[in-house]
Amino acid sequence: MPQITVDYSANLTDTFDRRGFALALHALTATVANATVENCKTRFRCLEEVYVADGAPGSALVHVQLALLTGRTEAVKAELSEAVLELLRTYTARGADASGPVPVPVVHASVDVNELGAAYRKHVGA
């Protein structure tokens, strides 16, 4: 706990700082949702085919699914969703390199914070 899955479109591969985002997300989740960084687990899935609206080029998608143990209020989950969206803006923003701006598509970002099921179990160890 928390279990975090991030789906992102392939056209963000070179501009989305996934490691930086994951580490910042773990710290944010620990603060807002009263979790521990040590228990945060994030996996990224690159989506080769993504179509937004009419399918015109120039759009990208990032969706964060964040599952927590029960006990957080709807207000805490909403606060976490808003904070994750803001964090996504930072880690998917236009970058720059020595030759100038690195273009990135318009990012359609979303977050869903929900609860893990009652049957959720985990084991850490050999």
pLDDT for 99 equals: 53
pLDDT for 105 equals: 83
pLDDT for 98 equals: 44
Instruction: Output the CA angle 15-18-21, nearest 5 degrees.
Output: 110
**Residue 71 and residue 120 in contact, taking contact as beta carbons nearer than 8 Å:** no
**Residue 42 and residue 30 in contact, taking contact as beta carbons nearer than 8 Å:** no
pTM: 0.89
Domains of the chain: 3-115 (3.30.429.10)
pLDDT for 57 equals: 84
Instruction: Enumerate the H helices of the chain as residue ranges.
Output: 18-32, 74-91
Q: Collect the ranges in the chain with pLDDT lower than 70.
A: 94-104
